[in-house]
Structure 1
């Protein structure tokens, strides 16, 4: 086979791929609906708050936060503006670089995150982990580590790339 020919998915690979896409899409939707219903925030906002809660001073450069949350600068800026209006995040200028701005989680934002977290975890558990045996959890971990490695994420760095 030449380098120009497409290596199409085998039937079992295609079935696995479609199952993976369906499962991740439906899980993301279930998480988003639960957070909207119970905490008044979309999953994307929960992820922003969670990332900020895990770093020193609960503060990150907007550019770093955009990269970590896999968001464009404009989409993140819009989200931060909404979170600011709720009093959950504040922007602060970077003292070392006037071109940079930090997003900082407020005490009110941390409280909102803490209130939302139990329902979020229950939903993750109900739709994912409670469906798997301990062996399947180990297998899923191995699989996701292999995929992340293929995407250039070193083992152990997933938490720095994808917020909890």
Structure 2
């Protein structure tokens, strides 16, 4: 199960051969500015393995997003997250700096939202965003989400939660 191709993007499952691209993305201080720290190559490998487990268990996870010409753009997809003690389906996205500011995250997130609406038995889709990450919050708003809550995970910074019914 993959989101439909968009005007500029295609989706595919992550594989170990994506380690260099994913380590570059998740290790980029600008991309990871709202995370505790950029990820190491070992953490990027664990990220790929986590998504492969998600594909096996759920049929979805975060996918590699590429241009139609095959250029690496980032990752985007659907994962289960704990929010205030409840398990919720989140749409998440990371876009390389070279592709930021062009509506790519919105285009990819909308394709993932559509997949959730059409193929996954879930009533709600969320986005979890750092309170200072206005760009990511705008992406969630553009695909139909509205701020509904704050999440206070133990030992971590507060996050805001945007949601929509599906």
Tell me whether the two structures share a fold, i.e. TM-score over 0.5: no
Q: Which has the higher contact order (CA 8 A, sep 6+)?
A: 1
What is the TM-score when the length of structure 1 is the normalising length?
0.31
TM-score for both structures, normalised by structure 2: 0.30
Higher helix proportion (structure 1 or 2)? 1
